[in-house]
Amino acid sequence: MIEEDNQKKIINRLRRTEGQLRGVQKMIDDQKECIDIITQLSAVRSSIDRTMGIIVAENLQNCLENPSNNVDEQSKKLQEAIQMIIKK
């Protein structure tokens, strides 16, 4: 579960990313240079990666601060958080 403060930050970050994507679409429509489009797409990817990092970090923090009474369940949650980091 994402804290309300972080939820707002994530939503704002995603809205900025959405704006960047619309900008890329416009660049393509306007037939801008390939390198410029790729640069903007790279910025979009970085923004999404940062957003994913925030979400995974909060999930991991939540697992550590609010451990499950079930050791196996806690271990599974931590392993899932680590896998999300590794997949990135």
Distance CA 33, CA 37 (A): 7
> Cβ(17)–Cβ(47) under 8 Å?
yes
pLDDT score recorded for residue 42: 97
Q: Which two tokens stand for residue 75?
A: 């271990």
CATH architecture of 4-87: Up-down Bundle (1.20)
- Please state the pTM of the whole predicted model: 0.77
Neighbours of 77 (CB within 10 A): 19
Distance CA 22, CA 58 (A): 28
- Segment 11-67, tens digit of pLDDT: 999 999 999 999 999 999 999 999 999 999 999 999 999 998 888 888 888 888 888
Domain ranges of the chain: 4-87
